[in-house]
Amino acid sequence: MSLTFDIARRFSKSLRNDRFARFTTIVSTIGVALGCTALIVAISVLRGYEEAIVTTAVKLAAHIEVRDGLGAPISQWKSLASRIRSVDHVQDVRPIVRREALVRSDNGLDGTIVMGTDDVRSIDARATRGRGDSTTWAWIGDILAARLKVGIGDTIIIYTARLSGDAPSPRMRPFIVQGIVSTGMASTDEGLITVPTDVARDLFGFTSDMASALAVTVDETDNTNSTAEALGAVIGHRLWALTFEQRFAAMSSWIALQKEPIPLVLGLISIVAVFTVISSLVIAVVEKTRSIAILQTLGMSRRHISAIFLWNALRIGLTGALLGTITAAAFCFGQSTWEFIRLDGAIYYVSALPVALDVMPFIVVPLTSIVLSILASIVPMILAARISPARALRFS
């Protein structure tokens, strides 16, 4: 086998002197590299979108959100939470205090969602706790802050309807912007304001046993849908159990729609690369017909002749897969670190192209490309094995 490898290496080296043969080899290698890069990046981006949805949903609520079908507050949420905890796969249940409101600054007026939270770092790890009277703290989404032209230390006024008796009464309250938060989901950052939970209860007129919704965390993301179905028998008909996929239905549907066609379409690049590998090896067979005939005359078997071109196909596949994997890894790492590709959050839901640094695509895709390159050597191997030494030497 070492002799076969040495001859294959010498064949490859001698073909570099032929411009056309060298060109086809380079094109084949680049084709394999592009196929690897395109598939790895596409899979990483789709998984990145999924992770962005799950991460944002868990930060703002949980895997499942139990809410009233008519939008009314949930009374006696503690007793309901104890029943929900009895369902399999439920890990945690906590109240959500959240309501629509208007926010005004010196530079404008906008609609917003005011949410109570006691740990703003659960939404944005970069956020810091404030100093002074916590009843005046407020954290605002970065996109909403840009629209209102406010920064840290500025004053905003929140207008909301406070529950008082049978009819809601208007309520206004000033807050000092303690920090600018970013969840990574533009649809959320353009309308989010968080305040301490007790302040939110007082602002909305909620008692301690009232909540806007209940956030249900499950042990595994894959158990979300089955757990939501099981909750239906516990919470009754008036309450809804909405999964994070249902709350981000448009984005989830878009990802599901792209999961099948995008890898297939981009996989065509790999198919084209296979044909370029075939053409490159066929050209090598034609160029080395006389050498193949001489080797057969000297006693080299057809199996070893075929192995020479198998080595060449393996070299093209390995080189292309390695280049493609390195390129895809550099792109994914750079995008996840520096976010140099920005998106319109109003259209794509996120402000930067999300990528998931998952190991599996970086293993499966290159291995598949190498296997396809090896399969591409079958036709040239057959052609090389069928060369007649007498005819080749006679007409060369």
**Same domain, yes or no, for 379 and 264?**
yes
**Same domain, yes or no, for 343 and 282?**
yes
The candidate with the shortest Cα–Cα distance to 180, out of 170, 192, 164, 169, is 192
Query: 148 lies in a domain?
Result: yes
Q: Give residue 123's pLDDT.
A: 72
**Same domain, yes or no, for 346 and 261?**
yes
Query: 265 lies in a domain?
Result: yes
Range picked from 182-191, 323-332, 377-386 for highest mean pLDDT: 323-332
* pLDDT class of 390 with cuts at 50, 70, 90: confident
Task: Indicate the pTM of the whole model.
Answer: 0.80
Checking if the pLDDT of 129 tops 70, the result is no
**Same domain, yes or no, for 342 and 274?**
yes
Residues 327 and 166: their CA atoms lie apart, in Å, by 63
Average pLDDT estimate for 32-52: 91
Q: Give residue 131's pLDDT.
A: 52
Which of 205, 240, 273 finishes a domain?
A: 205
Query: 374 lies in a domain?
Result: yes
Q: Give residue 292's pLDDT.
A: 84
Q: 141 lies in which domain range?
A: 98-205
Query: 84 lies in a domain?
Result: no
Q: Give residue 330's pLDDT.
A: 97
Which of 190, 205, 220 finishes a domain?
A: 205
pLDDT in tens, 262-316: 778 777 888 888 889 998 888 888 888 888 888 888 888 888 888 888 888 999 9
Query: 314 lies in a domain?
Result: yes
> 275 or 17, which is more confident?
275
Average pLDDT estimate for 119-144: 72
**Same domain, yes or no, for 38 and 121?**
no
Average pLDDT estimate for 351-366: 92
Query: 216 lies in a domain?
Result: no
Q: Give residue 350's pLDDT.
A: 80
Query: 61 lies in a domain?
Result: no
Range of weakest confidence among 71-85, 96-110, 342-356 = 342-356
Which of 140, 173, 205 finishes a domain?
A: 205
**Same domain, yes or no, for 259 and 391?**
yes
**Same domain, yes or no, for 38 and 113?**
no
Q: Give residue 57's pLDDT.
A: 74
**Same domain, yes or no, for 29 and 121?**
no
Checking if the pLDDT of 132 tops 60, the result is no
Average pLDDT estimate for 187-205: 90
Range of weakest confidence among 142-156, 165-179, 309-323, 354-368 = 165-179
Checking if the pLDDT of 128 tops 60, the result is no
Query: 240 lies in a domain?
Result: no
Q: Give residue 227's pLDDT.
A: 96
Percent of the residues in the chain that have a pLDDT greater than 90, as a whole number: 46
Q: Give residue 15's pLDDT.
A: 67
Phi, psi of 186 (to 5 degrees): -60, -35
Q: What is the mean pLDDT of the chain?
A: 86
pLDDT in tens, 370-383: 999 999 999 898 88
**Same domain, yes or no, for 262 and 198?**
no
**Same domain, yes or no, for 7 and 138?**
no
pLDDT in tens, 49-62: 888 878 877 777 78
**Same domain, yes or no, for 177 and 290?**
no
Total domains in the fold of the chain: 2
Range picked from 121-135, 255-269, 356-370 for highest mean pLDDT: 356-370
Checking if the pLDDT of 339 tops 70, the result is yes
Checking if the pLDDT of 165 tops 60, the result is no
> 130 or 267, which is more confident?
267
pLDDT in tens, 221-233: 899 999 999 998 8
**Same domain, yes or no, for 108 and 7?**
no
Checking if the pLDDT of 124 tops 70, the result is no
